[in-house]
Structure formats: C-alpha cells, structure tokens
Amino acid sequence: MDKGTKLLIKNRGKIAVCIICTARELGIWTIAIYMPSDALSLHISPTDKAIPLLQSAAEGSAELESKAYLAGQRIISICLNNKVTMLHLGYEFLSEIAEFALIIVNSGITWLGPCSDLIQKIELKHEAWAVDADIPIVPGSFGVLASAVNALEAVKHIGYPVILKATAGGRGIGMVVCDDKEMLEEEFFATHILVAIYRAIINLNHSTVLYVCSSCFIPDPTSLLLGSADHGGSA
C-alpha cells in the first residue's frame, strides 16, 4: 500500500466502507475518523488508520459528538497532521460548502468532489440559473424573502401548499411544507433560527435567507407498496 498517497474519508457507515474498499483496490492508503460512539462501526475495521475526532474521552458528550463531524477546522488539522493528500467527504453537509472546499485546496489537499466555484453556483438556491436559461421550473418566489410578510405576498401568486426553504441550508436543513397562511407565518421565524444555528455550527458566512416554492406531494414508496397490496396488486 502506497503511504505517499493518503485518503481521509470524512464519512461513516456504508458510504465510508464503499469508499475505503475502492481505495484499497486502487492501492490508496486510507484514514477514517470516528467518535467514541462509532469506535466499533463498520468503517473502522477495513481502513489503514482510524483517528478519533475528539482529542480525549472526556470530551465525548452527546452534544459535542453531534457537532464534531461538522467541525471543519478539526478535519483540516487531522489532514495536515497526518500528511493527508486527498479528502473525500462522501455525502454530508460540508461537501456542499464552497468555503470549506476552497480552504482544503488552499491547504494543499486534493478535494475529491466538485470545485468550490461550481459548489458556489449551485449552493444558493434562490439564484435563478434555470430561469435565465429558460428552463421550466416549479413556481416560486423570485429572490429571497426578507420577512414572513414577503413570503405571504409571494404565495398569492403560487398557491398552497408551498415549501419554505433556506437558500443555503444543505441536506434538507431549513425545508418545511406549509399548508396555509398560519403555518407559513409560524414556520418562517422558526426556520430562520434553525438555519442560523446550523450555519453558525459549521462557521459559514452566508446570511440566513429564505424563499418559497410550490410543493408537489410525492407519496412515500412504502405507502405506495402497502396501498398496492391492499388492493390486490404488488406487495
């Protein structure tokens, strides 16, 4: 195994196992990270080296564990201290953050994923790229909404139900379906606070801004299967 090329996988579970196994087939030395509660997880055994995210067991409170995988600076420190040459984030919050991708690249580490410029273009959902390209899209507000009053005004041209979304939330954070005026007013403030907290945890500079778009209800696949079985169809 070539230790000159070191890949750190900042993910866990099945995704991390798949990445580690593929890397090993390619002769790439792998490093996994973990929390105390993940010490026996599947992604630990196949990797060449496993590094704890917390520096001591005393730090392992439930609250810290929930935030540790979002601690970008800690990830960077682990990479630099272990001479990591490549970073793979799998599918998670930090993989969608242009600022983090740029910091990694500027640290001399190869970022396995879209470049920061491309992430920046797709990160802010209120930017009307599809509209400018004359591509049909789901109806929604144009630009961001400064207040619940603006949201209510925008919905007059869309109709309920709508999805209230954070323009730079990530992984579904700050996304809620609103069925009526009362729910939209209530959720606007709550969603704004939720996204602000999330972005503070991962040290992002974007302000918390929201927009709305029309909601198309898509039944859960399990519900579809159960419904078919009830009517004598597939199960």
**pLDDT digits over 73-109, tens only?**
889 999 999 999 999 987 777 787 888 899 999 999 9
For 4-25, what is the mean pLDDT?
90
- CATH number for the domain including 133? 3.30.1490.20
Q: Tell me: pLDDT of 125 over 60.
A: no
Residues 7, 117 share a domain: yes
Residues 116-128 have a mean pLDDT of: 69
pLDDT of 72 above 80: yes
Do both 95 and 133 map to the same domain? no
Whether residues 95 and 34 share a domain: the answer is yes
Residue 220: inside a domain? no
Q: Where are the alpha helices (DSSP H) in the chain?
A: 13-25, 62-68, 72-81, 98-106, 116-123, 129-132, 148-155, 181-201, 221-230
Task: Please indicate, yes or no, whether residues 193 and 131 belong to a single structural domain of this protein.
Answer: yes
| Together in a domain, 186 and 94 | no
What pLDDT, on a 0 to 100 scale, did the predictor assign at position 149? 87
Domain harbouring 13, CATH code: 3.40.50.20
Average pLDDT, the chain: 76
Taking 70 as the threshold, does the pLDDT of residue 16 lie above it?
yes
pLDDT in tens, 159-209: 888 888 776 655 566 678 889 999 988 888 888 777 666 666 555 555 445
Please report whether residue 19 resides in a domain: yes
Q: Residues 135-160: pLDDT tens digits? A: 777 777 776 777 888 888 888 888 88
Give the pLDDT confidence score for residue 107 in this predicted structure. 94
Q: Do 43 and 32 meet the contact criterion of CB atoms below 8 Å apart?
A: yes
227 is a domain residue: no
Whether residue 109 is found in the same domain as residue 19: yes
Same domain, 149 and 59: no
Structural domain includes residue 223? no
Closest CA to 196 of 186, 205, 187, 185: 205
Q: Give domain status of residue 234, yes or no.
A: no
61 vs 47 pLDDT, higher one: 47
The residue among 217 and 153 whose pLDDT is bigger is 153
The answer to whether residues 106 and 154 belong to one domain is: no
For residue 39, tell me if it sits in a domain: yes
Whether 154 is covered by a domain: the verdict is yes
Residues 109 and 178 in one domain: no
Whether 113 and 77 map to the same domain: the answer is: yes
Q: How many domains is the chain partitioned into structurally?
A: 2
Q: What is the pLDDT of residue 124?
A: 61
Which has more confidence, 224 or 157? 157
In contact, 212 and 154? CB cutoff 8 Å: yes
Whether 19 and 61 map to the same domain: the answer is yes
Q: Which domain holds residue 27?
A: 2-121
Q: Do 23 and 107 have their domain in common?
A: yes
Structure tokens that stand for 158 in this block:
């869309």
DSSP assignment, residue 145? Answer: B
